[in-house]
Structure 1
């Protein structure tokens, strides 16, 4: 969404918001913020491709606005955060962790990640286990064995073919090509996660198999608590198609 579109969107519900960016180690992190700046933080991380507006309806929800400070970012390579410049999972999380340090207000931080945003927040909690209160993983792709090889992705990384690929699909292809290797690197760190974990996943997700839930149940051995909420017959797009169910889970985080 452009700045003008963002303004129009929030004006419809008279929602106050901040549209800003922070420069971190040569990268730009663009974000939208709503809610009470002194409250606990709901921190939203989108999938691939995507941008902050994947969570726009949550950012204007009256129940959440009254209870939380909400921040939704453009991950590196998307939206207004170094658009087109893909980075692997480790680099992404390193920059996002620094961003969360800058926006922290001393209150608990709850991480919400959909699809590739799922392993992003998982890696954040594995690297900094004391920094995050709860992970809410929405259709998260965390199991490396569930990632199919998709060798065709290597072909469209080659010049000049990669420059034919439109818009956000180019950085999306790059990071999805790296993801399987990234997830194998992440696996030994999963035991570091000590926060609470909530997993919501559609039982008929054709893009990120439900087997990811079994994998996370097995690997998150030191999580403070682990709650699994299967969404019967749902596909991959649960943040939009099951808004109320997810909103209600977020509202009850504290």
Structure 2
């Protein structure tokens, strides 16, 4: 979403917002949108693949959420205005995003919310700095390496010159999803580090990220303070939009 369209969108809901590029290093930046009350607990949103911050624009413009929280949605590394076109693996993404989150720490509880590919990014962050995150909300997240199919056609699309013929964010998406299975294998041994409250929301007929991921997380998050599973019957992968009210209600009921 361009800056002009962002202004137009939030003006319709009379929402005050910040549209900022945060410098991580000489070559990396994180673009983010912020709404809500800067003194309140933070909801930190991570989009899927491909995607950008505006996957969560309805949440960021919701007056009920704005009253209770500060809401921040980023363009993940490689997408939107966060070094678009440079795909990064799971560990690198987390290492880039973590200092940004730390820079926004207002000494209030932080909740990570990740949909699809944003799910493993949120989990990776929670393994790196467990004490920083009060809650972890995983929306149709791909966490179980055994549930990821090899999809051997992806490397073909990564070869030159074919990769340069793939439009827009789909090239970055193809690369990070190809790396994901091995990234998840590596992360499996780190899942015991998670100590936050965990809420898992998943459609029971998800055709892109199998529901079996739920049982995997229940088994592997052995040190989570609490695990709550909210299955959405007959729902597919796109629950942040198709079941907005269910997710909003869950966010409003988070522990402070």
Q: Return the alpha-carbon distance in structure 2 between the equivalents of residues 148 and 89 of structure 1.
A: 17
SS of structure 1 residue aligned to 2:132: coil
Q: Deviations over 1:38-74 (max 9, x none)?
A: 1000000001000000000000111101110000000
Identify the residue that residue 67 of structure 2 maps to in structure 1.
66
Identify the residue that residue 14 of structure 1 maps to in structure 2.
14
Q: CA deviation at 1:132?
A: 0.2
SS of structure 2 residue aligned to 1:156: helix
Identify the residue that residue 44 of structure 1 maps to in structure 2.
45
Identify the residue that residue 223 of structure 1 maps to in structure 2.
224
Q: Return the alpha-carbon distance in structure 1 between the equivalents of residues 245 and 21 of structure 2.
A: 29
Runs ≥4 residues deviating over 4 A: none
Q: Return the alpha-carbon distance in structure 2 between the equivalents of residues 105 and 32 of structure 1.
A: 16
RMSD between aligned alpha carbons? 0.5
Q: Return the alpha-carbon distance in structure 2 between the equivalents of residues 128 and 69 of structure 1.
A: 20
SS of structure 2 residue aligned to 1:130: helix
Identify the residue that residue 207 of structure 1 maps to in structure 2.
208
Q: Which segments of 5 or more consecutive residues in structure 1 lack a partner in the other structure?
A: none
Identify the residue that residue 131 of structure 1 maps to in structure 2.
132
Q: Deviations over 1:129-170 (max 9, x none)?
A: 101000000000000000000010000100000011000000
Q: Return the alpha-carbon distance in structure 2 between the equivalents of residues 12 and 27 of structure 1.
A: 32
Q: Deviations over 1:203-230 (max 9, x none)?
A: 0000000000010011000000000000
Give matches, 1:126-205, under 5 Å: 126-205=127-206
Q: TM-score, normalised by structure 2?
A: 0.98
Q: CA deviation at 1:100?
A: 0.3
SS of structure 1 residue aligned to 2:131: coil
Q: Return the alpha-carbon distance in structure 2 between the equivalents of residues 109 and 58 of structure 1.
A: 16
Identify the residue that residue 110 of structure 2 maps to in structure 1.
109
Q: CA deviation at 1:83?
A: 0.5
SS of structure 1 residue aligned to 2:231: strand
Identify the residue that residue 248 of structure 1 maps to in structure 2.
249
Q: Which segments of 5 or more consecutive residues in structure 2 lack a partner in the other structure?
A: none
